[in-house]
Amino acid sequence: MIYYDVTKMGAARHKSGLMRVSSRLRGALGDAPNPVIWKNGHFVGENGTPVAWRPGDWLVTVELFSGAERPGFREFVAARPSRLGAVFADAIPLKFPHITWPQSVQRHPDYMKILAGFDRVWAISDFVQEELAGFWAWQGVVPRARLGRIELGADFDDSPRARTPPAFSGRPSLLCVGIIEPRKNQTFLLEVADALWRDGVDFDLHIVGRVNPHFGEPIVRRIKAVAKREPRLRLHLGAGDAKLRELYTSARAVVFPTIAEGCGLPVIEALWRGVPCVCSDLPVLRELTAAGGCVSAKVNDAADWCAQLAPLLAGKARAENLAREAVSRPLPTWAEAGAQLRAELTG
């Protein structure tokens, strides 16, 4: 039997990246997983009845937790009433505590230590796999867990993959999709856009995302201030699926100026639609960009970002070449992720 931890994700109202991963992976497992919730020191099923674990069962979790947040959970892991598997997203709260929600910063070291007691841990990129192994070694933790990698799916909304490059026409536009917070670096993107507009490059910039409640409001105010004097800048805080599809359809490229990622799902999700990407040159993103359809720009280097974006916006040839690469390169799917996980759980 496979049990799937939905303690937080099942009740969440917003769609963070981690919550989307949890939802899509659960769906990719089909009818196999039984949802369970950690409550009052043990896991219960949908009817509130405590789970009667058997040694051959699996508990799979994509959730974040700590001993303080889940009293008794550390003891549950140590007792190991079933086999335990977890998907590990990133170590960002440890590396960027000054721009991460304080509760996440407080939770993450304990969370990463608890994972060492699991049977299997699947990292969402080679980069974060190395980070987790390095953290365990740094902490002197001898892990029980066997560490591996799982590729997340590019097919984020069940839409069919684009098989022909988009027809670029009219004034070009750039699209930035992601939570509005310092890590996603929208403020830097405004500086780049301003420099290009001053140089006479004519394009629209669309910024889409929910607002980080702890760090996002100053960035929103900055975007709105620029938008008052620059009508080519548009902010979409409540964009639904239909609006997002429209923006992808009209985009010359998706821009991803992030300073830290665990995987970079927006990159492969844009490529799924055949839209080229311009991304920060991070090691983790190179895992996604090397196969084509993407351009890398130096992190926080406005001059390099302008140099990479200007040819895409000034004419269609560069974007069309990248779009052809995007529609022809291999991309992972959630069905494949689910099949991998099922095979490893039942093998």
223-278 pLDDT tens trace: 999 999 999 999 999 888 889 889 999 999 999 999 999 999 999 999 999 999 99
Mean pLDDT, rounded, for 154-180:
91
* Helix, coil or strand: residue 79: helix
Query: What's this model's pTM, rounded to 2 decimal places?
Result: 0.94
Indicate whether 317 and 189 sit together in one domain. Answer: yes
pLDDT, residue 13, reads 56
Indicate whether 132 and 179 sit together in one domain. Answer: no
Indicate whether 64 and 126 sit together in one domain. Answer: yes
Instruction: Kindly tell me the sign of the dihedral angle through the C-alpha atoms of 112, 117, 123, 129.
Output: positive
Would residue 132 count as lying in a domain? yes
Q: Which domain holds residue 186?
A: 173-328
pLDDT, residue 113, reads 98
Indicate whether 28 and 94 sit together in one domain. Answer: yes
Indicate whether 284 and 144 sit together in one domain. Answer: no
- 3-state percent helix, strand, coil for the chain, nearest multiple of 5: 45, 20, 40
Q: Model confidence over 30-65: pLDDT tens digits?
A: 887 899 999 999 999 989 999 999 989 999 999 999
Indicate whether 268 and 281 sit together in one domain. Answer: yes
Query: Considering its fold, how many domains does the chain have in total?
Result: 2
Would residue 129 count as lying in a domain? yes
CA angle 191, 195, 199 (to 5 degrees): 170
Q: Model confidence over 288-314: pLDDT tens digits?
A: 999 999 999 999 999 999 999 999 999
**Residue 118: is it exposed, middle or buried by C-beta count within 10 angstroms (0-12/13-18/19+)?**
buried
CATH number of the CATH domain containing 267:
3.40.50.2000
Q: Which two tokens stand for residue 23?
A: 């939802």
